[in-house]
Amino acid sequence: MADKRRGDPGPLAGLDGAAEIGMAETMLKARLTPLQLMVLACRYAPSKLRCECRADCCSGWRTNPTWRTAIADVAGEAVYHALPAREHVDQRYVAAVLLREYGAQKIALTDVGASLGMPLGTCTNRKRKILGWLLRPKALPEVKREDGTISQPAQAQGIEVSAFALAEEVLRGGGFIE
């Protein structure tokens, strides 16, 4: 979240700003899990940085390596934590779901899925599970059938939701935000 402000000449710009960002990052790293930090980087780190290389082919922008790594790492985690273990999952599809959500890129997920040989229903189902794992507003209890078997397993609050709440608490405690 501090990274987002870094792009503008705001309160966190300049040398004092850099020191403040360092302090905020240290506090966040002490309280949030590595996965929570990566998910926040997907959402709040700038996806592109200014490029001054002046090559003929340069658009003036380059992909932020921190953001790119966060997307790849969260995709790897999602394969294991958001989707059923027994299914073979192509990580390229998971990454496409994340790029569409966090990169604001117009990616046709059904086309990506089709090129990987995934049926439409599987594409939709996996997208829903991945986004629920990240963005589910609150935890859901398990639902039992009359015979006692479970029809719907308990589902945790989305990682981004819990990470944001915790980060907000940490930054407020540190006096960085009101």
The site for Zn ion (CB under 5 A) is made up of: 51, 53, 58
- Give the shortest CB-57-to-Zn ion separation in angstroms: 8
DSSP bridge pairs for 150 = 144
Closest CB to Zn ion: residue number: 58
Residue (of 101, 144, 147) closest to 126 by Cα position: 101
- Give the shortest CB-59-to-Zn ion separation in angstroms: 7
Q: Tell me the DSSP string of 150-171.
A: EEE--BPPPHHHHHHHHHHHHH
- Give the shortest CB-18-to-Zn ion separation in angstroms: 23
- Give the shortest CB-48-to-Zn ion separation in angstroms: 11
Q: Nearer to Zn ion by C-beta: 64 or 124?
A: 64
Question: What are the DSSP E strand ranges found in the chain?
Answer: 48-50, 61-63, 143-144, 150-152
DSSP bridge pairs for 126 = none
Q: Nearer to Zn ion by C-beta: 62 or 81?
A: 62
- Give the shortest CB-61-to-Zn ion separation in angstroms: 8
Report, in angstroms and rounded to the nearest whole number, the Rg of the chain calculated over CA atoms.
19
Collect contacts of 84-90 with beta carbons under 8 A, ≥24 apart: 89/126, 90/116, 90/118
Q: Nearer to Zn ion by C-beta: 52 or 147?
A: 52
Q: Nearer to Zn ion by C-beta: 30 or 53?
A: 53
Q: Nearer to Zn ion by C-beta: 11 or 60?
A: 60
Gap between the Cα atoms of 47 and 63, Å rounded: 6
94: its two tokens:
């998971």
